[in-house]
Amino acid sequence: MNKAIYPGSFDPMTNGHLDIIKRASKMFDEITVCILKNTAKTPLFSVEDRVKIMENAVKDLPNVKVDSFDGLLIDYAAANDVHVAIRGLRAVTDFEYELQIAQTNRKFSKDNLDTVFLITSLEYAYLSSSTVKEIARYGGDISECVPEDVAKLVYEKFGRVN
Ligand code: ADP
Protein backbone atom coordinates (compact mmCIF):
# COMPACT_ATOMS: atom_id res chain seq x y z
CA MET A 1 0.00 0.00 0.00
CA ASN A 2 1.17 3.47 -0.96
CA LYS A 3 1.10 5.31 2.39
CA ALA A 4 2.11 8.83 3.42
CA ILE A 5 2.15 10.83 6.59
CA TYR A 6 1.25 14.53 6.88
CA PRO A 7 2.97 15.82 10.02
CA GLY A 8 2.49 19.18 11.69
CA SER A 9 1.30 21.08 14.73
CA PHE A 10 -2.13 21.93 13.27
CA ASP A 11 -2.81 24.39 16.11
CA PRO A 12 -5.48 24.74 14.81
CA MET A 13 -5.93 23.06 11.45
CA THR A 14 -6.88 25.49 8.68
CA ASN A 15 -8.52 25.31 5.26
CA GLY A 16 -4.96 25.43 3.85
CA HIS A 17 -4.11 22.19 5.66
CA LEU A 18 -7.38 20.63 4.53
CA ASP A 19 -6.63 21.53 0.92
CA ILE A 20 -3.25 19.76 1.14
CA ILE A 21 -4.87 16.72 2.80
CA LYS A 22 -7.56 16.43 0.11
CA ARG A 23 -5.03 16.70 -2.71
CA ALA A 24 -2.62 14.25 -1.06
CA SER A 25 -5.44 11.77 -0.41
CA LYS A 26 -5.87 11.45 -4.18
CA MET A 27 -2.19 10.61 -4.65
CA PHE A 28 -1.78 7.98 -1.93
CA ASP A 29 -3.81 4.99 -0.80
CA GLU A 30 -3.66 6.13 2.80
CA ILE A 31 -2.73 9.40 4.50
CA THR A 32 -2.12 9.69 8.22
CA VAL A 33 -2.26 13.22 9.56
CA CYS A 34 0.14 13.09 12.47
CA ILE A 35 -0.17 15.78 15.10
CA LEU A 36 3.23 16.23 16.64
CA LYS A 37 3.98 17.87 19.93
CA ASN A 38 6.14 20.88 19.02
CA THR A 39 8.41 21.82 21.90
CA ALA A 40 9.24 25.18 20.28
CA LYS A 41 5.63 26.37 20.35
CA THR A 42 3.18 26.94 23.21
CA PRO A 43 -0.05 25.53 21.78
CA LEU A 44 -3.53 27.02 21.91
CA PHE A 45 -5.13 23.55 21.78
CA SER A 46 -3.98 20.36 23.51
CA VAL A 47 -2.83 17.52 21.25
CA GLU A 48 -6.02 15.62 22.18
CA ASP A 49 -8.21 18.55 21.10
CA ARG A 50 -6.24 18.99 17.87
CA VAL A 51 -6.75 15.30 17.09
CA LYS A 52 -10.52 15.58 17.67
CA ILE A 53 -10.74 18.75 15.55
CA MET A 54 -8.80 17.14 12.71
CA GLU A 55 -10.79 13.87 12.91
CA ASN A 56 -13.96 15.83 12.46
CA ALA A 57 -12.53 17.82 9.53
CA VAL A 58 -11.47 14.69 7.60
CA LYS A 59 -14.42 12.46 8.50
CA ASP A 60 -15.63 12.38 4.87
CA LEU A 61 -12.24 11.31 3.50
CA PRO A 62 -12.18 7.51 3.89
CA ASN A 63 -8.43 7.07 3.31
CA VAL A 64 -7.34 9.74 5.81
CA LYS A 65 -6.52 8.81 9.42
CA VAL A 66 -5.45 10.99 12.32
CA ASP A 67 -2.85 10.15 14.94
CA SER A 68 -0.54 11.96 17.33
CA PHE A 69 3.04 11.43 18.41
CA ASP A 70 5.39 12.90 20.95
CA GLY A 71 8.82 12.30 19.44
CA LEU A 72 10.74 12.35 16.20
CA LEU A 73 8.86 12.00 12.96
CA ILE A 74 11.42 9.49 11.65
CA ASP A 75 10.71 7.20 14.62
CA TYR A 76 6.96 7.40 14.03
CA ALA A 77 7.46 6.71 10.33
CA ALA A 78 9.71 3.70 10.99
CA ALA A 79 7.30 2.22 13.54
CA ASN A 80 4.40 2.56 11.07
CA ASP A 81 6.33 1.53 7.97
CA VAL A 82 5.71 4.84 6.16
CA HIS A 83 8.36 6.24 3.83
CA VAL A 84 6.83 9.48 2.58
CA ALA A 85 6.11 12.68 4.47
CA ILE A 86 3.90 15.35 2.91
CA ARG A 87 4.56 19.03 3.58
CA GLY A 88 2.94 22.13 2.18
CA LEU A 89 4.94 25.00 0.73
CA ARG A 90 3.61 28.53 0.77
CA ALA A 91 6.07 31.37 0.21
CA VAL A 92 9.82 31.14 -0.40
CA THR A 93 10.23 31.72 3.33
CA ASP A 94 8.88 28.19 3.99
CA PHE A 95 11.46 26.72 1.67
CA GLU A 96 14.64 27.14 3.71
CA TYR A 97 13.04 25.70 6.85
CA GLU A 98 11.40 22.84 4.98
CA LEU A 99 14.57 22.02 3.04
CA GLN A 100 16.49 21.59 6.28
CA ILE A 101 13.82 19.39 7.88
CA ALA A 102 13.46 17.25 4.76
CA GLN A 103 17.22 16.71 4.48
CA THR A 104 17.54 15.99 8.20
CA ASN A 105 14.72 13.45 8.09
CA ARG A 106 16.22 11.75 5.05
CA LYS A 107 19.68 11.55 6.58
CA PHE A 108 18.64 10.42 10.05
CA SER A 109 16.19 7.88 8.69
CA LYS A 110 19.01 6.44 6.55
CA ASP A 111 17.11 7.31 3.35
CA ASN A 112 13.93 5.71 4.67
CA LEU A 113 11.85 8.89 4.86
CA ASP A 114 11.49 11.16 1.86
CA THR A 115 9.43 14.36 1.72
CA VAL A 116 6.91 15.26 -0.98
CA PHE A 117 6.00 18.95 -1.21
CA LEU A 118 2.66 20.23 -2.37
CA ILE A 119 2.46 23.88 -3.35
CA THR A 120 -0.33 25.74 -1.61
CA SER A 121 -3.42 26.66 -3.60
CA LEU A 122 -3.43 30.40 -4.36
CA GLU A 123 -6.42 31.13 -2.14
CA TYR A 124 -4.64 29.72 0.93
CA ALA A 125 -1.15 31.06 0.26
CA TYR A 126 -1.46 33.70 3.00
CA LEU A 127 -2.95 31.36 5.58
CA SER A 128 -1.21 30.03 8.68
CA SER A 129 -2.36 28.79 12.08
CA SER A 130 -0.60 31.76 13.68
CA THR A 131 -2.49 34.24 11.48
CA VAL A 132 -5.78 32.58 12.40
CA LYS A 133 -4.98 32.88 16.10
CA GLU A 134 -3.87 36.49 15.80
CA ILE A 135 -7.01 37.54 13.91
CA ALA A 136 -9.34 35.65 16.27
CA ARG A 137 -7.63 37.05 19.37
CA TYR A 138 -8.69 40.53 18.33
CA GLY A 139 -12.17 39.51 17.19
CA GLY A 140 -11.48 39.49 13.44
CA ASP A 141 -13.32 37.28 10.98
CA ILE A 142 -11.70 33.86 10.48
CA SER A 143 -14.68 32.27 8.72
CA GLU A 144 -12.78 31.90 5.44
CA CYS A 145 -9.70 30.46 7.13
CA VAL A 146 -11.01 27.46 9.09
CA PRO A 147 -14.13 25.25 9.12
CA GLU A 148 -17.08 26.77 11.02
CA ASP A 149 -16.86 24.52 14.09
CA VAL A 150 -13.12 25.20 14.37
CA ALA A 151 -13.71 28.97 14.25
CA LYS A 152 -16.15 28.63 17.15
CA LEU A 153 -13.57 26.73 19.25
CA VAL A 154 -10.83 29.26 18.47
CA TYR A 155 -13.04 32.22 19.46
CA GLU A 156 -13.98 30.38 22.68
CA LYS A 157 -10.28 30.02 23.56
CA PHE A 158 -9.96 33.79 23.36
CA GLY A 159 -13.14 34.32 25.38
CA ARG A 160 -15.06 35.64 22.39
CA VAL A 161 -18.50 34.71 21.16
CA ASN A 162 -18.70 35.45 17.43
P1 ADP B 1 4.53 23.10 11.61
O2 ADP B 1 4.66 21.64 11.42
O3 ADP B 1 5.72 23.85 11.05
O4 ADP B 1 4.11 23.53 12.96
P5 ADP B 1 1.85 23.55 10.60
O6 ADP B 1 1.21 22.62 11.56
O7 ADP B 1 1.36 24.97 10.66
O8 ADP B 1 3.41 23.55 10.60
O9 ADP B 1 1.61 23.04 9.12
C10 ADP B 1 1.90 21.72 8.73
C11 ADP B 1 2.24 21.70 7.25
O12 ADP B 1 1.23 22.34 6.49
C13 ADP B 1 3.53 22.45 6.89
O14 ADP B 1 4.15 21.73 5.85
C15 ADP B 1 3.06 23.78 6.40
O16 ADP B 1 3.98 24.35 5.48
C17 ADP B 1 1.80 23.37 5.70
N18 ADP B 1 0.84 24.47 5.61
C19 ADP B 1 0.44 25.31 6.57
N20 ADP B 1 -0.43 26.23 6.12
C21 ADP B 1 -0.60 25.96 4.79
C22 ADP B 1 -1.32 26.57 3.72
N23 ADP B 1 -2.07 27.65 3.93
N24 ADP B 1 -1.22 26.03 2.48
C25 ADP B 1 -0.44 24.95 2.28
N26 ADP B 1 0.30 24.35 3.23
C27 ADP B 1 0.23 24.84 4.46
pLDDT per residue over 22-60, tens digit each?
999 999 999 999 999 877 778 999 999 999 999 999 999
pTM: 0.94
Q: How far is the CA of 25 from the centre of ligand 1 (A)?
A: 16
| Cα 162 from Cα 143, distance rounded (Å) | 10
| Cα 114 from Cα 17, distance rounded (Å) | 19
Q: For residue 31, give the amino acid letter.
A: I
Q: Ligand 1, atom 23: nearest CA belongs to which residue?
A: 16
Q: Ligand 1, atom 8: nearest CA belongs to which residue?
A: 8
pLDDT value for 34: 98
CA atoms within 13 A on the CB side of 133: 12
**Counting Cβ atoms within 10 Å, is residue 94 exposed (0-12), middle (13-18) or buried (19+)?**
middle
User: What value does the mean pLDDT take over residues 63-92?
Assistant: 96
25 within ligand 1 shell (Cβ under 6 A)? no
Residues 144-159: b if buried by 16+ CB within 10 A, e if exposed: ebbbeebbebbbeeee
pLDDT value for 93: 84
Number of residues written out for the chain: 162
**Counting Cβ atoms within 10 Å, is residue 32 exposed (0-12), middle (13-18) or buried (19+)?**
buried
User: What value does the mean pLDDT take over residues 11-19?
Assistant: 97
pLDDT value for 6: 98
Name which residue leads in pLDDT, 102 or 162.
102
Which uninterrupted H or E stretch holds 100? helix 92-108
pLDDT value for 162: 65
What is the share, in percent, of the chain residues with pLDDT greater than 70?
99
- Determine the residue of 45, 51, 90 to mutate for testing ligand 1's pocket, defined as the one with the most ligand atoms within 8 A of the Cβ atom: 90
List strands edge to edge, sheet with 114-119.
64-69, 30-36, 3-8, 84-89, 114-119
pLDDT value for 112: 97
User: What value does the mean pLDDT take over residues 53-77?
Assistant: 97
Question: Which residues does residue 89 pair with via DSSP β-bridges, in sequence order?
Answer: 119
pLDDT value for 132: 97
Write the pLDDT tens digit of every residue in 98-148.
Answer: 999 999 999 999 999 999 999 999 999 999 999 999 999 999 999 999 999
Domains of the chain plus CATH, in order, are 3-126 (3.40.50.620)
Q: How far is the CA of 133 from the centre of ligand 1 (A)?
A: 14
50 within ligand 1 shell (Cβ under 6 A)? no
Report in angstroms the alpha-carbon separations of 161 from 14, 105, 121, 122, 155.
Answer: 19, 42, 30, 30, 6
88 within ligand 1 shell (Cβ under 6 A)? yes
